[in-house]
Amino acid sequence: MHVHILGICGAFMGGVAAIAKALGLRVTGSDRNVYPPMSNQLAALGIEVVEGFDTSQLDPSPDVVVVGNVMTRGTPVIEALLERQIPFESGPEWLAREVLHQRWVLAVAGTHGKTATTGMLAWILECAGLSPGFLIGGVPHDLGISARLGARPFFVIEADEYDTAFFDKRAKFIHYRPRTVILNNLEFDHADIYQDVAAIERQFHHLVRTVPASGLIVHHATDPYLARTLEMGCWTPSEAFGRDGAPEARWSAHVGTPVDGSQFEVLLDGAVVGRVRWSQIGGHNVDNALAAIAAARHVGVPSDVACAALSDFRGIKRRMEFRGSARGVHVYDDFAHHPTAIATTLEGLRQRVGGERIIAVLEPRSATMKRGIYKDTLAASLALADEVWFYVPSDLGWDAGTVVRSLGSRGHLSGDIDGLAAELAQRLRHGDHALIMSNGGFGGLHEKLLAALERCTASGRSHGAQK
- In the 8-state DSSP scheme, what is residue 62? P
Asked whether 429 and 329 are in contact (CB, 8 A), the reply is: yes
Rounded mean pLDDT, 404-428: 88
Q: What is the pLDDT of residues 92-143, one digit of tens each?
A: 999 999 999 989 999 999 988 899 999 999 999 999 999 999 999 888 888 9
Q: What does R_g of the chain's alpha carbons equal in angstroms?
A: 23
Q: Cβ-count burial of 129 within 10 angstroms (0-12 exposed, 13-18 middle, 19+ buried)?
A: exposed
Q: What is the pLDDT of residues 114-128, one digit of tens each?
A: 999 999 999 999 999
DSSP helix, strand, coil percent of the chain (3-state; round to 5) = 35, 25, 40
Average pLDDT taken over every residue of the chain: 89
Range from 2-16, 73-87, 352-366 carrying the lowest mean pLDDT: 352-366
**Do 99-311 and 321-466 come out as alike in CATH topology?**
no
- Judged against a pLDDT cut of 90, whether residue 398 lies above it is answered with no
Q: What is the pLDDT of residues 376-389, one digit of tens each?
A: 888 888 889 999 88
CATH of region 321-466: 3.90.190.20
Could you tell me the pLDDT band of residue 467, with boundaries at 50, 70 and 90?
Answer: very low
CATH topology of domain 99-311: UDP-N-acetylmuramoyl-L-alanine:D-glutamate ligase (3.40.1190)
- Judged against a pLDDT cut of 50, whether residue 7 lies above it is answered with yes
The pLDDT score that the predictor gives to residue 457 is 62
The pLDDT score that the predictor gives to residue 145 is 87
What value, to the nearest 5°, has the Cα angle with vertex 248 and ends 315 and 265? 40
CATH of region 2-90: 3.40.50.720
Could you tell me the pLDDT band of residue 459, with boundaries at 50, 70 and 90?
Answer: low
- Judged against a pLDDT cut of 80, whether residue 169 lies above it is answered with yes
Task: Please report, for the chain, the start and end positions of each structural domain, with discontinuous segments joined by +.
Answer: 2-90, 99-311, 321-466
Rounded to an integer, what distance in angstroms lies between the CA atom of residue 125 and that of residue 129? 7
Task: Give kind and range of the element (H or E) at residue 48.
Answer: strand 48-51
No. of helices (H) and no. of strands (E), the chain: 15, 23
Q: What is the pLDDT of residues 288-339, one digit of tens each?
A: 999 999 999 999 999 999 999 999 998 777 777 888 888 899 998 987 778 8
Q: What is the pTM of this model?
A: 0.83
Q: What is the pLDDT of residues 205-233, one digit of tens each?
A: 999 999 999 999 999 999 999 999 999 99
Highest mean pLDDT among 228-242, 396-410, 435-449: 228-242
| CA distance to 20, 21, 69, 178, 366, per residue, from 395 (Å) | 36, 37, 21, 38, 11
The pairing of beta strand 2-6 with beta strand 147-148: unpaired
The pLDDT score that the predictor gives to residue 245 is 66
